Amino acid sequence: MSEKKRILIVDDESALTMLVKLNLEKTGRYEVREENHAIKALAAAKAFKPDLVLLDVMMPDLDGGDVLAQLKGDPQFKDVPVVFLTATVLKEEVDKKGGSIGGYPFIPKPFRGEVLLDRIEKMLPPQPAASASGSAPARDPRQPRNPEARRREDRNPSRGG
């Protein structure tokens, strides 16, 4: 039985986070935690230790870009993949927001479930079933060969896209 990937979704729209959680958990492959207050995002990440973070761009207290900066400032989450969700329409606004959205993928709202899943799966390839003997899973050749990296291997195969 493969382990469920943990996904943290940060968005002030509670009905939306509820529905994303329902739809993602329905696949049986993910466990989702919702956080509707950007200010609490970092604390939620520390408690939940997500494999991937879905981040809304425009929120009342902090922008998605600010939350991203907080996460990346913490060594624990430096390599956690992030996907932005945005209702933004204009490219200028997209570029303006946080400045660091460039380089991270974003999904425009409204999005279909399969688009979301597709993006998540690109960034978190499903693990081949680990045998009971605990043999090491296949290593992503792009990851540096070092002890720290190996520990994080199964969490963070790649980012960007």
* 90 touches another protein (CB under 8 A): yes
Residue with tokens 């207050």: 37
Smallest distance from another protein to CB 20, Å: 6
- CA–CA separation, 31 and 89 (whole Å): 30
* 89 touches another protein (CB under 8 A): yes
- CA–CA separation, 129 and 9 (whole Å): 26
Q: Nearest 5°: phi and psi at 131?
A: -75, 160
Of 22-30, 43-51, 75-83, 152-160, the segment contacting another protein by CB under 8 A is: 22-30
6: three-class secondary structure by DSSP: strand
* 28 touches another protein (CB under 8 A): yes
- CA–CA separation, 35 and 46 (whole Å): 12
* 60 touches another protein (CB under 8 A): yes
Of 14-22, 47-55, 76-84, 126-134, the segment contacting another protein by CB under 8 A is: 14-22
How do strand 82-86 and strand 52-56 relate by DSSP bridges? parallel
Q: For residues 107-146, which are near another protein according to CB under 8 A?
A: 108-113
Q: Which residues bind another protein (CB under 8 A)?
A: 1, 4, 13, 15-16, 18-20, 22-23, 25-26, 28, 58-63, 85, 87-90, 108-113
